[in-house]
Amino acid sequence: MEESSRKRVAIDLDRLPIKRLNAIDEIGNEQFPPDVSNEDKRLGMLRRIDFSSIVADSIETRRNQKRTSKEAAPGPQQTWPWQGFVENLQLAHQELSVIIDLINTVEANDAVAVAGMQRPKQLPNEILSDLAVSAATKLQRLRNLGRYFKQSSKALEQRVSREARFYGSLIRLQQHWKVKRQRVSATSPGNEGFSFDLVDNTSSNTTILSHPLPNTLVHIVRETAGLLAIQRPQKSHQCISISYSASDFNSRNKKSLKRNIYKSDEILQANRKETLTDEDVNSWVKDTHSVLHEIHQSIFLQQVFDRVKHESYSPSPGIYVTGMREDFLQLAVGQDTSIYLSLVPFKKEDEFLDSMGHSQNTTNEHPHSDSSALVVINEKDMLNENNFGVPSPAGLEIYVMHIFHKNSVVRLKEKKISASRAAVAGQAAADSCGLSHFCKTIAHRIFSNKVLAEIERLVSRIPFVQLLSHPPWHSRTSSWSLSLKFPESVFHSACLSESSNNYDAKGLIRSQLHTKIVVKDDQVTVSGEGAPSTLCSFRISPNVSSVGSYGCDLDDLPLILLQQIAGRIIQWLHDEALIVGMKVRRDFLCLYFDLDQGDMLGLVARVDPDDVNGCISWWLIMEDALQDDGKFSTSTGEYKNRRFLGHLSLEALYFMLMDLVNVSTDNGFS
Amino acid sequence: MNKAAVGGGGGGGGPTAAAAVAAAQKQKTLLQRVDADVSNLVDNFSHLVNLARVNDPPVRNSQEAFQMEIRAARMVQAAESLRNLVSELKQTAIFSGFGSLNDNVDRQVAEFNRLEEGSERLLEKVGEQAAANLKELEAHYYSSVLRSSQGDDG
């Protein structure tokens, strides 16, 4: 087979690529063959390939194979049912091998090249199926896009609502607080650089404060739900507390608002519910506002304490510093009272948090620098004896804040009015409302309570004397008055009708006692009719009345008041005796009646502040005693011609006077 | 937008020329950003709609699918940019609305002054009432039977 194929292979040589002359005509023109294009050449070469021999050989080969198979298998005459299929496949294989060789030859571009190629035309069902697949694929893609858009829109809506909540809350809070923005690059989640600046420029003064307050910036935190929360700075919940006892620290109870406050190192809570109503947001904003107000108040209190310490550095009248620590100041007020000022953190309702947010024991028995309280300690334990001896700690706390706030307002106004006069006027204002004023006020309150106690003790023992309070509405001034209304006499109205108008006024005025006690700081001033001096005691004229004002000590006050009261009673009796026509003579606390035949009867008032039954007692002295020495004689303890009348009321004294009138009348006294 | 510009331009009570120019420039920039974002949204959406056509070659469909994803992402990006723009405008309104801030501060000051005066009057009234009550109580006490009996006993 191969030998026959080899024999049949003919060698065909291509013409040389030169132009051969076909003919020459008579004229001499040469006739060349026409130029053949490359494609024509290729086509010609393709046509020259003769596949018939190969095909014939293949057919012959098949026939021979059939014969051999028939001769080799003379057995059963049954043919394999797939034999024809196999033969067809073999023929197709041969044809394909020929084609593959041709393609390889074409690829090598050796003898032939591909002229053109066309895609076979698709059937309609194939077109429709492809279109359906494409449509389904596109539909799927579009649905994916739809889901993507839905997710994006939902996320955008959430972010928009969160931002609306955040910025809405921020704008609302901006109406009350100053908002600052800091350009921060790397921030913790939720921290966008916003903060509330709580520094009070009206009350702060860097020249006065010993150190700047670091906790005036409150950072704003945006929660995952868009709500506005704040980061509480350190030492932002402190107050000045006052207590009567060193072991009883009166920290203010504050309702904890934990949900609005984060500590500086706390992570944002991510479990907030997203579905928030307007009411929730409103309450949140209100709570935040309340917390900011508390922090601002705490800052103000720290400023107050700082200014108190600053003023304690400079010596001023009334300020006596006996102890000092970081947040602790001890002042001596008066002679036997001390005040402890300190900053105390707010005590929560459920737990007690310090500046670092750690829980601490709520009961503190011993003061220390971090949680001491402002206490008022009386070394003589007068608090146990007299509850009114020391002013109320809560009142003092409010007053110290009022003083320094007023001082800062005054300074601010002075600055606004004139910058040049600010220092002078501010200093003047500081003198009247500062730590010195505060200490003097406390001292005055303690002293005035003592004075009041003494006066009340006196008045309680003298029934016909009334104590009237006159609040002067000045923190370092107290005023009282003692009044005494004499009973109207029978002859009083008749005397009024006979005497002049001037005497009427004087008479009306004289019918009452007006003694005024004024306490300024620790100075007691008594003003009223009748000075307790011997000079006035020798005045004989009844029309002369002296209204004097003089200072005294607390120890001498009861005696002076009693002398004034007794002197005024004597004066009244003297006037009444004159009205009825008696001859009387007044000598300090004595009233002498001139009886017939030179006899003299004396009515003497004895004052004793320690007399429990009544501070003013009365004695009646006959002329014999007066002639002996002209004075009381108590050295022997025996009184001759003296009678103790006891603690008489004004009516009893008046009736006694009338009896004396009758006695003198009986004796022929006219 | 105009309010923001006016607010920004009105800062400082009497805007200078430079501030006015800056405010106008900022307004212009913001408007440009808005226009760009909105046109971006519209263009991408229109392209997205055009790409929704079903073509014959599956290769082209795959190519269009990628394009659709890109267009959708660009649309979302444009929306995000608009949201950021709104946030910036809100921040500008918060920190540059000096006119409204000043008005609010004045209103607050007036309100607090009124409260202060009211508190002062209330305190005075309380003081006067306390003094009157004290005087009345003293008068009642000294005219009471207790005090009178004490005087009789004394």
Instruction: Extract the residue ranges of chain A whose pLDDT is less than 70.
Output: 1-19, 48-53, 69-78, 110-115, 184-190, 201-215, 242-274, 347-388, 418-433, 489-512, 529-548, 597, 623-640, 664-670
> Across the interface, do A471 and B131 touch by the CB < 8 Å criterion?
yes
Chain B residue closest in CA terms to A152:
B76
Q: What is the ipTM of this complex?
A: 0.78
Banded model confidence at residue B150, pLDDT cuts 50, 70, 90: low
Give me the pLDDT at residue A413, please. 75
**In this complex, is the C-beta atom of B149 within 8 Å of any C-beta atom belonging to chain A?**
no
> Across the interface, do A152 and B79 touch by the CB < 8 Å criterion?
yes
- Separation CA A329–CA A343 (nearest Å): 10
Give me the pLDDT at residue A591, please. 87
Helix (H) and strand (E) counts for chain A? 16, 27
pLDDT at residue B5 is higher than 60: no
> Across the interface, do A145 and B68 touch by the CB < 8 Å criterion?
yes
B118: its two tokens: 């009211």
Compute the nearest-CA separation of A460 from chain B (Å).
9
Looking at residue A383, its amino acid is: L
Task: Note the pLDDT tens digit of each residue in A580-621.
Answer: 888 888 888 888 888 776 778 888 899 888 888 888 899 888
Banded model confidence at residue B151, pLDDT cuts 50, 70, 90: low
* Distance set, CA A579 to CA A486, A568, A584, A593 (Å): 15, 16, 11, 13
Q: Which of A411-415, B20-24, B74-78 tops mean pLDDT?
A: B74-78
Mean pLDDT value of segment B20-41: 93
- Separation CA B59–CA A138 (nearest Å): 12
Strand partners, A512: A485
Of A556, A547, A548, A546, whose CA–CA distance to A524 is shortest?
A556
Give me the pLDDT at residue B126, please. 93
Give me the pLDDT at residue A430, please. 46
Of A596, A586, A657, A645, whose CA–CA distance to A621 is shortest?
A645
- Separation CA A146–CA A440 (nearest Å): 80
pTM: 0.64
Contacts of B126 in chain A (CB under 8 A): none
- Give B 73-92 residues with CB within 8 A of chain A: 75-76, 79-80, 83, 86-87, 90-91
Give me the pLDDT at residue A202, please. 59
Do A585 and A573 touch, CB atoms closer than 8 A? no
Chain A residue closest in CA terms to B127:
A473
> Across the interface, do A175 and B104 touch by the CB < 8 Å criterion?
yes
Give me the pLDDT at residue A39, please. 73
Chain A residue closest in CA terms to B102:
A175
Q: Which of helix, strand or coil describes residue B88?
A: helix
Give me the pLDDT at residue B71, please. 93
Task: Note the pLDDT tens digit of each residue in A622-637.
Answer: 865 445 444 444 455 5
Place of tokens 């331009």: B9
A521: its two tokens: 């700081």
Of A228, A278, A237, whose CA–CA distance to A255 is shortest?
A237
Q: What are A's interface residues with B at a Cβ cutoff of 8 A?
A: 130-131, 133-135, 137-138, 141-142, 145, 148-149, 152, 156, 159-160, 163, 167, 170-171, 174-176, 179, 181, 461-464, 466-469, 471, 473, 613-614, 647, 649
Q: Which residues contact A88 (CB under 8 A, 6 or more apart)?
A: none
> Across the interface, do A174 and B101 touch by the CB < 8 Å criterion?
yes
